[in-house]
Structure 1
Amino acid sequence: MRGSLQFIGNATALIRYNGFTLLTDPNFLHRGQRAYLGYGMSSRRLADPAVAIEDLPALDAVVLSHMHGDHWDRVARRGLDRDTPIITTTMAARKLRRRGFRRSVGLEEWEQYELRGRGGSIMITALPAKHAPGLVEALLPPVIGTMLEFCNPYERVELRLHISGDTLLDRRLDAIPRRFPEIDLALVHLGGTKLLGSLLVTMDGEQGASWVDLIHPRTVVPVHYDDYTVFSSSLNDFRHHIAQAGLADRVVYLERGETRELAPHHLVRHH
């Protein structure tokens, strides 16, 4: 098996490919615990993660879209090895280095960072994302999407995996498919997160379907949709709009804890 993708919960996934092991947006709070979102706002977790932090394998890196309590929590801060590289925004990297994660790497949009190993390399590119409408965006932590390009030892790309990060559908995302017209797999952050009761700060089902149409990945795995009380848009909302858009054949739905095989240019849909 070349690799695998395991959905742990919220936006947390374990990606293994060509000998590398990456973790996305580590969120290991348990059901009933609260994630803190700044300005006195918090949200209660509704489901346990499928894997405990102490049961994770050794990690080559963490890919962190932004510094919010449902993406980087107190369990991750205490439980992760402080020598693990954390690839994230420049603001989050500064905070993490101050907290002892000395190998944190901050990327601006389109900047790249390469991990090298015996099985090849991973080129990580920071991509545009927009976490809130208008001026409110300045009040939330900066966020990036990421492209992970897994290359074999001969530097040929075998797998392009895109992580949307917490974003709304926005014109600045138009550049992603121009830069990366062939994306094998995408993890899309959904949920229709609402802050202050009405302010939408992540894509709902309708925006998510439009995002799939724009980014045009071969396969999509939805994440970040029902773990917290701030989510307003269910997975069924996404299913409905994906079907309306004629894109249902692109989507693979993973249960928490479920693992699918990753092969070159391919997510295996069934065991």
Structure 2
Amino acid sequence: MAAYDDALDLHFIGTATVLLRYGDLTLLTDPNFLHHGERAHLGYGLTSPRLTEPALDVTQLPPLDAVVLSHLHGDHWDRRARRHLDRSVPIVTTPHAARHLRTWQGFRRAGGLRTWERCTVREGRSQVRITALPGRHSLHPVLRRLLPPVMGTMLEFGRRDGTVALRLYVSGDTLVYDGLDEIARRFPGADLAVLHLGGTRLPGGFVVTMDGAQGAELARRLGHPRVMPIHYDDYAVFRSPLEDFLTEADRLGLRERLVLCARGQHALVTPHGDRPLVR
């Protein structure tokens, strides 16, 4: 666990689920705790079996100060999360997902942020400022209306006096498009980018998450010094394995930026620009 040296501990649980610990704060991203063989519901009758086991069960989580949810899909918010998470925990998500969580699932502290809106979560001597960032689950105009809205997030960790020690970008299930370029302009100093990959493919051949080539291209555009790939092998709808991303990152000269953290491992990020320690 991270101590008061301004280090951030990322525990990769699987899919897009990461447990984040910074000082007195504990956050969780995109809670997905289905087990191998269980099916995630993706909407309109579409399901996909999980191919892996999460590194933790939802019942093993520590107390949470907040959940950051990129969007409302069954591989990011599943029935195990719905049943077992504390309904009083703050959930920072899209307005669409927040309305659903409050109205239909009883998570009364779910709050929605529109793009570039922000909120702050504080606990003890620590705080994190959460900014909603642009994202598009599909570039197809019809699919964009059918799929739930998605957001990326910038998490700025620091002390309660407002000092920012570390910035963490989480892409959410977006594809690459020109609207993402604004992220690098507004947050040029982010320490680590966590990218949702997988090349998720829907019936009809529609790709709705970044494949390896798109992920490497986004890493190039952002220019962040460290990049951690996640969300690439947990479900049958993921069609672009991690090797695709690694190959393209090599081609673009990005290999030295990569932080490869397997399920169950921790990556310790410091504000000094050192390569994160993976263990």
TM-score range, shorter chain: over 0.9
**Alignment of 1:143 onto 2:150:** yes
Match of 1:260 in 2: 267
Deviations 1:126-181 (A, max 9, x none): 00001012211111000000000012233211000010000000011111101101
Match of 1:192 in 2: 199
Shift of 1:270: 4.5
Match of 1:175 in 2: 182
Shift of 1:19: 1.2
More displaced 10-residue stretch of structure 1: 209-218 or 64-73: 209-218
Give RMSD over aligned pairs.
1.2
Match of 2:232 in 1: 225
Contact 1:120–1:155 under 8 Å retained in 2:
no
TM alignment of 1:88-99, pairs within 5 A: 88-98=93-103, 99=105
Match of 2:129 in 1: 123
Match of 1:61 in 2: 66
Contact 1:159–1:265 under 8 Å retained in 2:
no
Match of 2:27 in 1: 22
Match of 2:217 in 1: 210
**Partner secondary structure for residue 277 of structure 2:** coil
Mapped partners of 1:159, 1:9: distance in 2: 23
TM alignment of 1:43-122, pairs within 5 A: 43-98=48-103, 99-122=105-128
Mapped partners of 1:43, 1:254: distance in 2: 24
**Partner secondary structure for residue 176 of structure 2:** coil
Deviations 1:79-131 (A, max 9, x none): 10000000000010000011110000100000001112222311100000010
The match for 1:154 among 161, 167, 174 is 161
Contact 1:123–1:149 under 8 Å retained in 2:
yes
Query: AA paired with 1:77?
Result: R
Match of 2:16 in 1: 11
Query: AA paired with 1:227?
Result: D
Mapped partners of 1:83, 1:172: distance in 2: 34
Mapped partners of 2:235, 2:119: distance in 1: 31
| Pairs aligned (count) | 271
Contact 2:65–2:123 under 8 Å retained in 1:
no
Runs of 5+ in structure 2 lacking a partner?
Answer: none
Query: AA paired with 1:196?
Result: P
Contact 1:131–1:143 under 8 Å retained in 2:
yes
Query: AA paired with 2:277?
Result: R
Q: Classify 1:69/1:265 alpha carbon distance in 2 versus 1 (closer, same or farther; 3 Å).
A: farther
**Partner secondary structure for residue 203 of structure 1:** coil
Match of 2:249 in 1: 242
Query: AA paired with 1:129?
Result: G
> How high is the sequence identity, in percent, across the aligned residues?
53
**Partner secondary structure for residue 249 of structure 1:** helix
**Alignment of 1:269 onto 2:277:** yes
